[in-house]
C-alpha cells in the first residue's frame, strides 16, 4: 500500500498551529552560549543527503527579487489578534528580541541546520532587538535593547527610533489583548508575569513570580513574540491587523497584498542588521531588493512554477520532487520533520486494555515499521521519530534505534507471534478497539494499513474518521475513550508523556518521567548539553513503555534553483522563525537571467 503525502513548506505550519512547546531556566547566565558536545556513547547524526553547489569565496551581491510560494494564505498581520504561527509576514517585516544564530548554521560553525521549525535552544540563539541578555536568577531575564534601530518609514512612526516603551508595550500587549496568543493560551502567565523597562540602562526585564510559569516565559518572550510600535497600535487598534498598517523594524516592508494571490515586500534600506558570517560579514542586510510570495494552494501549480523558474524554490516528499533531484542545476537538502503523528492510547483507566504495558507492546510489535518505511515510503523515511527527531540540533537528546537495548529494539521487529503471546498473557486473546482521526485520505489510508497489520495479531480496529472541528475539539478537550491519532509537541518539557496538557494524549502519569521532567526544567535555556543528556538517558525507558505508536516520518526535501545564494535548505532560523533566512540570502541576477531569460 502506498500513499503519497504532500509536504510543502507550510505543512509544518499546520502542525505548528497546535504546538505550544515550552522551555525553562535557572542559574545565572548571559548571552554567552553553551557549546553542545557530542555524546560519546552514540554515533554521529545521519549523513545529510544534499546537493549544494556554492563557491566559498563568492562575495554577496545586492539586488534582485526573490520569488517564493506559500501553500495557504496568511492568517493576519498582528499578534494582538492572532497566534504568531499564522502571521507569516511578521518574520520579514518585524523583529523579535532574540533569533536563531545564522553564524551557527551551515554557513558558519555547522552546529545547526535550521531545517526544523521548533529549535529553541538558547545556545543556538543570538541577539536581535536585544543585543544581549542576562538571567541573574531563575524566573528573571534581562534584555539589553539594541541602539540604532528605527521603525520603517510609515506613519505614524515615520522612521522614529525604537524605544524601551515600545518593547514593554508589545510584551504586555500579547498578555492583555483578549485575542492575543499568550492571553488565550497561557492565561496564568499573562496574569502573573511582570514586564518592566528602564530607559536609563536600555533594559527590559521579564519576571515570573510563579516559578512554574518561568518555563513558558523563557520560551515565548525571547524568540517568538515580535515587537510593534506603541503609537501605531494605539492609533489603529484592531486596524493593526490590516496589511497597510504593518510597521516593524524588520528587513523588509510589506507594500502590497492581494488576498489568496500574492504578497509583495521591498527592502528596508534602514535595517539595522548585518551579515554575521562569510565573505559578506559586516554587510548591511538584506541583500535582496524585494521578496514576492505567490499563494499557491494547488501542489501541481506550485511544482509547475518551480519547473519554469517562476519561483526560486519549494519543498515536498520524494515523489513530489524526484524530477528536480535528477536535474543537476537544482540544489536540494533532505530533512526529517520535528513533529510526527502518533496512535495514542488511554492508559489512565484501570479497566482499559491499554493500561497494561503488555497490550501496548503487543500492538507495537504487530506494527510492521519496516513495511511502512519500505513500501509506504519507498524506503525514504525514519522509523524512530518519537519523542524527538534525529536531526542535528536534537541529536544529543536522541537515541538511535540500533543502539537501544535489545528488548526495546525487539518491539520494532514486527513479531506477530510474540504480539499474540503478549495479548494472551494480558487476558486479551482478541481485542476490539476504536481510533478517532481526522477524516483525510492520508490519515484513513495509513490507519487502514495499521488495521490490516493488527488483524494478524487478533486485533479488530475500527477507524472513526471525524471532521476537523470535531477531531480537534476531541484532542483539546481530551475527549476519547480508547485511541486517538494526532500530532505531537516539542520535547523539552516532555509534554508528550507528562502533565495534563492535551499533548499527553495517552494520559501518562509516570513517576520516573515526572522526576526527569523536574530535573530537565532546571537546565532548559541554561545548559543544553545536560538537558539533552537527561532526555537521551530517559528514552530507552520511555520507548519500552510503548505509550504511543509513532508513524515513521518521510524524508522531506527543500529544493531551489542555483541563483539562490547563501542558502542551504534553511526553514526556520530559531523558534518558529520560518522565512527569516530571506534577510541573509542573495540573488545571482545574471545567472537567473541566463537560465530563465528573466531577472
> For 198-236, what is each residue's pLDDT tens digit?
999 999 999 999 888 888 899 899 999 999 999 999 999
Q: What is the pLDDT of residue 500?
A: 85
Q: What is the pLDDT of residue 597?
A: 80
What's the whole-number average pLDDT of the chain?
A: 89
Q: What is the pLDDT of residue 46?
A: 57
The C-alpha angle 478, 480, 481, rounded to 5 degrees, equals: 130
pLDDT band at 495 (very low <50, low <70, confident <90, very high): confident
Judge whether residue 41 has pLDDT over 70.
no
Is 49 a domain residue? no
- CATH of residue 186: 3.40.190.10
- Beta bridge partner(s), residue 35: none
| Number of domains the chain is built from | 2
- CATH of residue 494: 3.10.105.10
Lowest-confidence pick of 29-33, 82-86, 268-272, 586-590: 29-33
Q: What is the pLDDT of residue 97?
A: 98
Is 371 a domain residue? yes
pLDDT band at 34 (very low <50, low <70, confident <90, very high): very low
d(CA 471, CA 491): 23
Q: Please compute the mean of the pLDDT values over residues 87-107 and round it to a whole number.
A: 95
CB hemisphere CA count around 328 (13 angstroms): 0
Note whether 452 and 567 are same-domain residues.
no
Q: What is the pLDDT of residue 106?
A: 92
Is 596 a domain residue? no
d(CA 245, CA 257): 12
Q: Please compute the mean of the pLDDT values over residues 91-98 and round it to a whole number.
A: 97
Is 39 a domain residue? no
Q: In which domain, by residue range, is 228 found?
A: 11-32+61-335+556-591
Cell of 91: 518574520
Q: Please compute the mean of the pLDDT values over residues 510-529 and round it to a whole number.
A: 89
Percent of the chain residues past pLDDT 90, beyond the cut: 76
pLDDT band at 470 (very low <50, low <70, confident <90, very high): very high
Beta-carbon neighbour count of residue 256 at 10 Å?
12
Judge whether residue 584 has pLDDT over 70.
yes
Is 304 a domain residue? yes
Note whether 382 and 258 are same-domain residues.
no
- Beta bridge partner(s), residue 598: none
Note whether 247 and 289 are same-domain residues.
yes
Instruction: Provide CB contacts within 8 A for 450, sequence distance 6+.
Output: 343, 367, 461, 549
Q: What is the pLDDT of residue 59?
A: 93
pLDDT band at 24 (very low <50, low <70, confident <90, very high): very low
Lowest-confidence pick of 55-59, 242-246, 423-427: 55-59
Regarding predicted confidence, which is higher, 22 or 153?
Answer: 153
Note whether 295 and 382 are same-domain residues.
no
Is 53 a domain residue? no
Judge whether residue 483 has pLDDT over 90.
yes
Note whether 217 and 330 are same-domain residues.
yes
Per DSSP bridges, beta strands 483-487 and 252-258 are: unpaired
Residue whose C-alpha is closest to residue 249's, from 222, 277, 224, 227: 227
Q: For residue 516, what are the CA distances in angstroms to 218, 507, 533, 536?
A: 19, 17, 11, 11
Note whether 301 and 435 are same-domain residues.
no
Cell of 329: 542545476
Q: What letter does residue 402 receive in the DSSP assignment?
A: G
Percent of the chain residues past pLDDT 70, beyond the cut: 90
Note whether 475 and 502 are same-domain residues.
yes
Note whether 169 and 206 are same-domain residues.
yes
Is 44 a domain residue? no
d(CA 114, CA 579): 11
Note whether 192 and 97 are same-domain residues.
yes
Q: What is the pLDDT of residue 527?
A: 86
The 10s digit of each residue's pLDDT in 152-193 is 999 999 999 999 999 999 999 999 999 898 998 899 999 999
Q: What is the pLDDT of residue 493?
A: 83
Note whether 228 and 123 are same-domain residues.
yes
Q: What is the pLDDT of residue 51?
A: 64
Note whether 451 and 417 are same-domain residues.
yes
Q: Please compute the mean of the pLDDT values over residues 255-275 and round it to a whole number.
A: 97
Note whether 398 and 545 are same-domain residues.
yes
d(CA 503, CA 580): 28
Amino acid at each position: 500500500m502506498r500513499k503519497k503525502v504532500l509536504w510543502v513548506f507550510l505543512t509544518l505550519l499546520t502542525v505548528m498551529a497546535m504546538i505550544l512547546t515550552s522551555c525553562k531556566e535557572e542559574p545565572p547566565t548571559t548571552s554567552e552560549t553553551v557549546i553542545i558536545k557530542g555524546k560519546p556513547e552514540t554515533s554521529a547524526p545521519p549523513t545529510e543527503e544534499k546537493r549544494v553547489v556554492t563557491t566559498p569565496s563568492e562575495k554577496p551581491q545586492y539586488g534582485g527579487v526573490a520569488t517564493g510560494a506559500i501553500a495557504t494564505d496568511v492568517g493576519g498581520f498582528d499578534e494582538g489578534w492572532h497566534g504568531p504561527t499564522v502571521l507569516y509576514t511578521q518574520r520579514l517585516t518585524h523583529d523579535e528580541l532574540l533569533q536563531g544564530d545564522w553564524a551557527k548554521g551551515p554557513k558558519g560553525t555547522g552546529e545547526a541546520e535550521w531545517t526544523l521549525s521548533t529549535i529553541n535552544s538558547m545556545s543556538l540563539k543570538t541577539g536581535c532587538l536585544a543585543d544581549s541578555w542576562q538571567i541573574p536568577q531563575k524566573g528573571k531575564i534581562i534584555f539589553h535593547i539594541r541602539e540604532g534601530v528605527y521603525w520603517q518609514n510609515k506613519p505614524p512612526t515615520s522612521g522614529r527610533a525604537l524605544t524601551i516603551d515600545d518593547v514593554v508595550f508589545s510584551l504586555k500587549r500579547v498578555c492583555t489583548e483578549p485575542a492575543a496568543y499568550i492571553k488565550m493560551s497561557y492565561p496564568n502567565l499573562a496574569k502573573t508575569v511582570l514586564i518592566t523597562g528602564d530607559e536609563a540602562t536600555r533594559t527590559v526585564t521579564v519576571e515570573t513570580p510563579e516559578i512554574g510559569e518561568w518555563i513558558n516565559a523563557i520560551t515565548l518572550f525571547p524568540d517568538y513574540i515580535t515587537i510593534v510600535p506603541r503609537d501605531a497600535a494605539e492609533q489603529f487598534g484592531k486596524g493593526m491587523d490590516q496589511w497597510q498598517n504593518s510597521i516593524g523594524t524588520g528587513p523588509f516592508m510589506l507594500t502590497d497584498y492581494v488576498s489568496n494571490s500574492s504578497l509583495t515586500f521591498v527592502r528596508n534600506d534602514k535595517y539595522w542588521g548585518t551579515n554575521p558570517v562569510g565573505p559578506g560579514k559586516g554587510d548591511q542586510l538584506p541583500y535582496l531588493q524585494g521578496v514576492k510570495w505567490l499563494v499557491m494552494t494547488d501542489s501541481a501549480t506550485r511544482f509547475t512554477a518551480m519547473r519554469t523558474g517562476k519561483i526560486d524554490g519549494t519543498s515536498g516528499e520524494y515523489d513530489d520532487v524526484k524530477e528536480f533531484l535528477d536535474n543537476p542545476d537544482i540544489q536540494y537538502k533532505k530533512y526529517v520533520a520535528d513533529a510526527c503523528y502518533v496512535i495514542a492510547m488511554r492508559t489512565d483507566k484501570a479497566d482499559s486494555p491499554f493500561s497494561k504495558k503488555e497490550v501496548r507492546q503487543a500492538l507495537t510489535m504487530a506494527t510492521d515499521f519496516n513495511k511502512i518505511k519500505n513500501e509506504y515510503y519507498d524506503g525514504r523515511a525514519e522509523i524512530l521519530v518519537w519523542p524527538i527527531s534525529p536531526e542535528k540540533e536534537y541529536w544529543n537528546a536522541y537515541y538511535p534505534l540500533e543502539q537501544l537495548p535489545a528488548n526495546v529494539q525487539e518491539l520494532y521487529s514486527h513479531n506477530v507471534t510474540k504480539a499474540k503471546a503478549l495479548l494472551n498473557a494480558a487476558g486479551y486473546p482478541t481485542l476490539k478497539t476504536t481510533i478517532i482521526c481526522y477524516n483525510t485520505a492520508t490519515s484513513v489510508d495509513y490507519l487502514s494499513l495499521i488495521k490490516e497489520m493488527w488483524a494478524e495479531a487478533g486485533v479488530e480496529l475500527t477507524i472513526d474518521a471525524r471532521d476537523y472541528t470535531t477531531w480537534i475539539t476531541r484532542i483539546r478537550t481530551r475527549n476519547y475513550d480508547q485511541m486517538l491519532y494526532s500530532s505531537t509537541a516539542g520535547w523539552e518539557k516532555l509534554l508528550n508523556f507528562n502533565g495534563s496538557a492535551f499533548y499527553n494524549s495517552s494520559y501518562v502519569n509516570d513517576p520516573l518521567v515526572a522526576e526527569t521532567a523536574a530535573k530537565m526544567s532546571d537546565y532548559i535555556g541554561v545548559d543544553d548539553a545536560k538537558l539533552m543528556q537527561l532526555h537521551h538517558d530517559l528514552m530507552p525507558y520511555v520507548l519500552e513503555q510503548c505509550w504511543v505508536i509513532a508513524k515513521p516520518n518521510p524524508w522531506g526535501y527543500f529544493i531551489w534553483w542555483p541563483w539562490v545564494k547563501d542558502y542551504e535548505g534553511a526553514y526556520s532560523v530559531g523558534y518558529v522563525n520560518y522565512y527569516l533566512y530571506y534577510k541573509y540570502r542573495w540573488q545571482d541576477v545574471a545567472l537567473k537571467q541566463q537560465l530563465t531569460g528573466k531577472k
